[in-house]
Structures are given as C-alpha cells and as structure tokens.
Amino acid sequence: NHITLNASEGKQVNGVLLYGINSSGKSSLMKSIGLSVILAQAGFFVPAIQLKLNIYEQLFTRIVSQDNLYKGLSTFSVEMMELKNIFNRATPKSLILGDEISQGTETESGLAIVAGAILKLLELKSTFIFATHLHQLKNIEPLQKIDSLIFLHLGVKYDEENDTLIYNRELQLGMGSSLYGLEFAKSLHMDKNFLKNAYEIREKLLGKSSELKKLTTQKRSRYNKGLYITKCALCDENVEDVHHIAEQNLANEEGMIGIINKNHKYNLIPLCKKHHKLIHEGKIHISGFVMTSKGIKLHYQEK
C-alpha cells in the first residue's frame, strides 16, 4: 500500500521503528527494503511501482539471533559485538536493518540498549529500520524530542465470527496495539487451560482490563470497524457523528479519494453535535492527521 511518511516540520526521516503482531510481516518488509536497495543500486528491477532512494555505500544487518558456538559467544554477546561493529563503521551513507535488537537480555536493559542505539545512529546520521515489540520506547524522553524518528506498524484484524487473525499487510502510522501476543497464540488454537491461565496472569500484571477487552466493548464506526468511538476528537463530549475529513462526494465509483478510501480510518473523526456543526459552518477547518515527534495528531484550526 501507499503511505506518505512526513516528519514534523518537514524534516527528513532517518529512523523507523516498525511494530506488528507476530507473523504480520515486519521482518519480511524490512528485508525487502534492504533487497530493493541492493537491486536498485545494481541496476535491476525492484518490487515496487516507484522507488526513490539516496545512494548507500554500506548495508548493515542485525537480524539473526543465535549463539556462536565456535567462538563461545552467547546470543546476547553476538548481538552486542555486531552492534559495536555497526557503530564503528556506520556513516551518513549507511542503511541499518535491525530485527528485535537486544532480545537476548532482560526487558529494562534491552529497552535502554535499543534507545541508546537509536540515539547513536541518529547522531551518525545513518538511515535505519528496526523491527521491534518494545512499545515502551515511546515513553523515553530523549526519543520523544526527535523529529526524524517515526513509528509505524503492520495492521492486523481479528475476525470474531471465525476466530481468526487477518493479516492485511497494510503499513499504518503509529505503534498499533501493544497487547497481541496472546491473541496470536489464541488464533493457533492452543490448549484452553494454558490460554485461560495466561490471560488471567496478563490481567493481573496490567492491574486493569486489557486493551483488547476495552476495545471489544467500545462502539465501532459503521464506516470503518477499525475506528472505535469513545469521545469527540475535539473535546471530551459523547460522540454523535462521524465526520469525513475529505468529503464523501469527492470519492470516485470505487470509493477512492486520490490514493485512499473515503472510509479510511485517518479520513474519519468522531465528533459531538456541537463541533460537527461548527465544521460544516466553516468555523473549524480540519486539515487531517499528521505524524509528529509525539505521535499521530489531528491538525485543525478554529476560524
């Protein structure tokens, strides 16, 4: 699918953190980007309608996580040695691909190492894509201030009727849900007692109802089931209407407005009656959703 990636204030994007449920295609997408760069620079065809890129002099990968029995190195030791090698050799003309970096150690250190690696590569002005499950990265203050770092995820839909996960392979803005491991396990029809115990333990660890349970109890938009209606996008009042940012009458026969469907999640906003009326009266102008250093934000102006 096509997705426009713009950092805030028009600054260049150097780093991408790629999220998604297991088997959603994170690693495959990351590897395909690396292969496309190699093919393009070698003068071969690439698997894309159009590809624009800067010329890279080096391609580094940190993908396979396993022990090195011949050198007596653990998985974590191998990871750190490879990361050290990347830091020593990377330049502004380097592309780095990392798959779940620092998974060989405990969560806190792993989180700190990934955050430190991001800051180091940004300092080197290298381009990098990291596939990760570490949603806590968004809470690390130094990363929140960086305009050239963006968060993306590969979307997945849960078919409640057939009890299956549907991988739509769509690249979307933001991190997506942070709770999905057990949902993936459930889709494999694993032992019921195992799943029951695992769900109960997760609920206790969270200290509250899971994000997935909250979502399933919320009202969904009739235009897009991926849009959960909780409160007005411009205030805290109850939702009465769902507004199309790009009006429906601009859509063609296939329901497309340019490159997006008229009912795409980011073309819809839940509104209270008051604000919906102000928009149609021209007193509020909705520009749309933009990616900022603090995540996806709705951009609008009051006239």
Pairing of strands 164-173, 149-159: antiparallel
Q: Which residues contact 170 (CB under 8 A, 6 or more apart)?
A: 1, 154, 155
Q: Given this model, what pLDDT does residue 7 score?
A: 41
Q: Given this model, what pLDDT does residue 186 score?
A: 75
Q: How many CB atoms lie within 10 A of CB 132?
A: 23
pTM: 0.61
Alpha-carbon Rg for the chain in angstroms: 22
Q: Which residues of 4-19 are buried (b: 16+ CB within 10 A; e: fewer)?
A: eeebeeeeeebbbbbb
Q: How many CB atoms lie within 10 A of CB 70?
A: 6
88: left (phi over 0), alpha (psi -120 to 50) or beta: alpha
Residue 171, both tokens: 């690249």
Contact 240, 271 (CB under 8 A): yes
Q: Which residues contact 249 (CB under 8 A, 6 or more apart)?
A: none
Instruction: Please state the length of the chain.
Output: 303
Q: Given this model, what pLDDT does residue 163 score?
A: 66
CA 280 vs CA 5, 6, 30: distances in Å? 29, 28, 42
Q: Given this model, what pLDDT does residue 10 score?
A: 53
Give strand pairing partners of 242.
270
Instruction: Specify the residue for token string 């009042």.
Output: 237
Q: What is the 3-state secondary structure (H, E, C) of the chain?
A: CCCCCCCHHHCCCCEEEEECCCCCCHHHHHHHHHHHHHHHHCCCCCCCCCCCCCCCCEEEEECCCCCECCCCECHHHHHHHHHHHHHHHCCCCEEEEEECCCCCCCHHHHHHHHHHHHHHHHHHCCEEEEECCCHHHHHCHHHHCCCCEEEEEEEEEEECCCCEEEEEEEEEECCCCCCCHHHHHHHCCCCHHHHHHHHHHHHHHHCCCCHHHHHHCCEECCCCCCCEECCCCCCCCCCCEEEECCCHHHCCCCCEECCEECCCHHHEEEECHHHHHHHHCCCEEEEEEEEECCEEEEEEEEC
Q: What is the residue-level pLDDT of the chain in tens, covering all 303 positions?
A: 554 444 444 567 889 999 887 778 888 888 999 999 999 999 999 988 888 888 999 999 887 767 767 777 777 788 888 889 999 999 999 999 988 887 777 778 888 988 999 999 999 999 999 988 888 888 888 888 888 888 888 877 666 666 667 777 778 788 776 666 777 777 777 888 888 888 888 777 766 544 545 444 457 788 887 787 778 888 878 788 899 999 998 999 888 988 889 999 889 999 988 899 899 888 898 888 876 655 677 888 887
Q: Which residue from 171, 80, 140, 85 is spatially nearest to 294, judged by alpha carbons?
A: 140
Rounded Cα distance between 127 and 90, Å, is 10
